[in-house]
Chains A and B, each alone.
Chain A
Amino acid sequence: GDSVTQMEGPVTLSEEAFLTINCTYTATGYPSLFWYVQYPGEGLQLLLKATKADDKGSNKGFEATYRKETTSFHLEKGSVQVSDSAVYFCALSPLTSGYSTLTFGKGTMLLVSP
């Protein structure tokens, strides 16, 4: 079945450092890929998405590129802020099922210190 694997956290960085959170997936067909963010005590917010190979999703300084050849969708940000501290989830939604449901990774906690 479909699955998503993320790097384990926590990832601890200083403010203005470069961020990479690795995400790889297994799926039949060509799913849409997403990054969601969850702040403490809150639900999930969509951060960015990509729907086909080589697409780059971007939002709030975060970027991720859909790499079909490596089945990856790594999240990057050039300069993190303390306010970026949260849990980040990589997810996929298969296109072939006819119905859109999400399969999530286990999440990666990011801690940014001043």
Chain B
Amino acid sequence: DAGVTQSPTHLIKTRGQQVTLRCSPKSGHDTVSWYQQALGQGPQFIFQYYEEEERQRGNFPDRFSGHQFPNYSSELNVNALLLGDSALYLCASSFSVRATEAFFGQGTRLTVV
């Protein structure tokens, strides 16, 4: 059983550019959440998708947006990249929007130069 898969693994972008990160949830899971983990810090919640809609959002600017597809996979888009957006972006899936247990992918390491 494949777990949560994310692509790409690593990415280097220039300030001002836009980036799209992708996530496929664990089989049987319908809820996807995204987290940003800066170096040496704990993950920070960005937003959560369920039934193709954003259900919860953390304290992140509108430059961060997302999408969920009918097959439950998800994308995270970041516009107008800043140096401070450099981080590990983690996708987590759960079998229900109310499930307390989440399974994480390996993450996408984004470097903004």
Which A residue's beta carbon lies closest to that of B43?
A104
Q: Is B42 an interface residue, CB under 8 A from the partner?
A: yes
- Judging by beta carbons under 8 Å apart, are A46 and B45 in contact? no
A8 to chain B minimum Cβ distance, whole angstroms, is 11
A residues touching B (Cβ–Cβ < 8 Å)?
4, 32, 34, 36, 42-46, 49, 51, 89, 91, 93, 95, 97-107
| Complex CA distance for A97 and B33, rounded to whole angstroms | 15
Q: How far is the CB of B52 from chain A (nearest CB, A)?
A: 15
The interface centre, meaning the residue of B55, B97, B100 with most chain A CB atoms within 10 A of its CB, is B100
Are A51 and B42 interface neighbours, CB within 8 A?
no
B90 lies within 8 A of chain A by Cβ: yes
With an 8 A cutoff between CB atoms, is B25 at the interface? no
A36, A45, A89, A101: which contacts B45 (Cβ < 8 A)? A101
Interface range on chain B: under 10, 10 to 19, 20 to 34, or 35 or more?
20 to 34
Q: What residues of chain B have their CB less than 8 Å away from a CB belonging to chain A? A: 4, 31, 33, 35, 40-45, 48, 50, 55-56, 58, 90, 92, 94, 96-107
Closest to A106 in B: B42
Closest to B98 in A: A100
The residue on B at minimum CB distance from A98 is B98
Please tell me if the beta carbons of B56 and A43 are within 8 angstroms of each other in the complex: no
Chain A min CB distance to B12 (Å): 17
Pairs across A and B, CB under 8 Å, 11 listed: A4-B42, A43-B106, A46-B101, A100-B94, A102-B35, A102-B43, A102-B92, A104-B43, A105-B42, A107-B40, A107-B42
Known pairs A100-B96, A102-B92, A105-B42 / 5 extra A-B pairs, C-beta < 8 Å: A32-B100, A89-B43, A100-B94, A101-B58, A104-B42
Taking a contact as CB atoms under 8 Å apart, the answer to whether A45 and B104 are in contact is yes
Of the candidates A44, A98, A103, A105, the one whose C-beta lies within 8 Å of that of B90 is: A44
- With contacts A98-B98, A99-B97, A101-B48 known, is A44 near B56, CB below 8 A? no
